[in-house]
Structure 1
């Protein structure tokens, strides 16, 4: 029996030093941190840039789709 569950997670991110931040690497790190089990699949659905909050910072919203196979979770990731 292959039981999958899917859900969405939204993460609001305030990037303080926008000019010195590699946003692609940062989004990848946030994506990877959403996994609870090694076999979880996390996909980026959308990135919304709300723009500058201060002179040097930006606010972005990242929406992830997560899929988990309940029959084959894998190891639990301990942070």
Structure 2
């Protein structure tokens, strides 16, 4: 009886196998989800970098336009004084 009690019976073994299978499935699903999230994060980082580049280009364009306006205002001021 001592040997028998240390060895799980077949129904207990089936339950443990089912639990093990379920846990393995959950682990695999979690790994797939983590992989998807990693890919999404990379895509979002790429989009963020692109948006930052666009924003910087717009800032430079705005600065250039402001400089052109300043020069035109100065030229107009000279013309109106003459």
Query: Which has a greater percent of strand?
Result: 1
The structure carrying a bigger helix percent of its residues is 2
TM-score (norm 1): 0.22
Return the structure number with greater relative CO, CA threshold 8 A, min gap 6: 1
